Amino acid sequence: MTELETSTIAKRPEFRNINAFKDLPGYRLPLAGVVSILHRISGALMFVLLPFIIWMFDASVSSEISYRRFLNVFEQGFGVFPGWMLKLVALALIWAFLHHLIAGLRHLWMDINHAVSKEFGRNSAAVTLGLSVALTLLLGAKLFGAY
């Protein structure tokens, strides 16, 4: 049986102790894997930018004056950072939140319904990526004043 398998099935490359520079560029990550690593990256991004998120919460709800300062920062900039750059950071956070939320709901759905087939994994990963990017573009257009 083992001999039959080795003779008919093409040998696949094995990845053990992968090297980030040597192995990763040629590594074909499945769509579900892309969603997974982006889930982690988006979470880490929000963790690092937590003070900025809380500052936005603080400034936007505390008083009329702080609310105006909140709006103003994204128009006039803050210190060496121009307004458009802060809008880009906010947009990155919007993407991170949407991706993390949708990928998380996908996880919950899989946990509850035992939806662990290969097809579901791939299709739901495509939906996660498509939906999060589409909503990010929609909100990004609003953020930069397109409508």
Partner 1 sequence: MAVNYGSKRIVVGAHYGLRDWLSQRVTAALMAVFTALLVAQVLLTKGPIGYDRWAGIFAAQWMKVLTFVVIIALLYHVWVGVRDIWMDYIKSVSARLLLQIVSIVWLVGCTGWAIQVLWRL
Q: Does 62 bind partner 1 (CB under 8 A)?
A: yes
Question: Is the separation of the CB atoms in 34 and 125 below 8 Å?
Answer: yes
CA 85 to each of CA 11, 142, 144: distance values in angstroms, whole numbers, following the listed order: 48, 15, 11
Q: Which two tokens stand for residue 22?
A: 């040597």
Determine the interface stretch with partner 1 among 30-38, 55-63, 116-124, 132-140 (rule: CB under 8 A).
55-63
134 binds partner 1 (CB under 8 A): no
Between residues 29 and 105, which has the closer beta carbon with respect to partner 1? Answer: 105
Task: Let me know if 52 is exposed, middle or buried by CB neighbors in 10 A (0-12, 13-18, 19+).
Answer: middle
Out of 27, 29, 60, 117, name the contact with partner 1 by CB under 8 A. 60
Angstrom distances, CA of residue 123 to CA of 32, 38, 106, 127:
9, 16, 11, 6
- When asked if residue 29 is in the footprint of partner 1 (CB under 8 A), the reply is no
Of 1, 4, 9, 108, the one binding partner 1 (CB under 8 A) is 108
User: In the structure encoding, which two tokens stand for residue 143, read together?
Assistant: 């953020």
Please report how close the Cβ of residue 147 comes to partner 1 at its closest, in angstroms.
13
Q: Per CB under 8 A, which region of 3-11, 88-96, 105-113, 128-136 contacts partner 1?
A: 105-113
Question: What is the C-alpha radius of gyration for the chain, rounded to an integer number of angstroms?
Answer: 21
Nearest-approach distance from CB 57 to partner 1, in angstroms? 6
